[in-house]
Structure 1
Amino acid sequence: MEFIMIDAALFDSLVGKLNKSVDEANKIRNNGKDAKLEQWLDGQEVCEVLGVTKRTLQTLRETGKLAYTMVKHKTYYRPKDVQAFLDNSIKKRGL
């Protein structure tokens, strides 16, 4: 085993800089997640927008009529995909 000796002040300075870097990296990582997830809708929001039940929403996913993404066992929908589904539904009904 090899030992390296450094001045206590230098060690404290290095630890401080390392902690600052870790804090900044965590802040960037958390801000990026929040910003991206705000652009997506969860299942409850989509049910409210479409006026459907959770089971109907699941059927729309299974049949490929509504695009979705899963993140850690939670389903998210892009607003533009929900809008496209609504537009297609309106066209099919001739409204």
Structure 2
Amino acid sequence: MEKLSKKLNEIGQDLKSLINTSQVLDENERLLDNQDLALLLKVFFRTLQRYRLQGKLPYFTIGHKTYYRASDIKAFVRERTDYQTYKQFEKANQVETNPNSKMQQRKEACV
């Protein structure tokens, strides 16, 4: 019974650390997957694949899933657009840093 209690405490600590991952990564190191980036850039998955194969878009994989760093995406967009278009993109896709953001509210509701 003691072993079970200890294991449940460990799992609880692991869950708490997973819930607080938004605090671990800063805004420029947030990760997006293929679906997120395709929606953000308004392109098809095949377009992202072509950018990866051509070496234009930095990425990494975990398991069989592809991820992109927000800082790499900003640099990618900045290199391929004019200043005014980039500023519009940046304004339209700002990440909320407010502690009372929707994500934070959802996390608090779960606890």
Q: Tell me how far apart the structure 2 counterparts of residues 72 and 18 of structure 1 sit (CA, whole Å).
A: 30
Structure 2 unaligned regions, length at least 5: 87-111
Please state how far the C-alpha of 1:68 moved relative to its aligned partner.
0.8
Count of aligned pairs: 78
- Alignment partner of 2:66 out of 59, 68, 75: 75
Does residue 18 of structure 1 match 2:6? yes
SS in 2 for 1:67: coil
2:37 alignment counterpart: 46
RMSD: 2.8
SS at match of 2:81: helix
In 2, Cα distance between equivalents of 1:61 and 1:50 = 14
- Decide whether aligned partners of structure 1 residues 53 and 19 sit closer, same or farther in structure 2, where only a CA change above 3 A counts: closer
1:89 equivalent in alignment to 2:77: no
Alpha-carbon distance between aligned partners in 2 of 1:69 and 1:22, rounded to the nearest angstrom? 29
Q: How far apart are the structure 1 equivalents of 2:34 and 2:8?
A: 38
SS in 1 for 2:66: strand
1:58 pairs with 49, 52, 67, which one? 49
Is the partner of 1:77 in helix, strand or coil? Answer: strand
Give the TM-score, by structure 1 length: 0.62
Question: Could you tell me the percent identity over the aligned residues?
Answer: 31
Give the unaligned 5+ runs of structure 1.
Answer: 1-11
* Structure with the greater alpha carbon radius of gyration: 1
SS in structure 2 at match of 1:41: strand
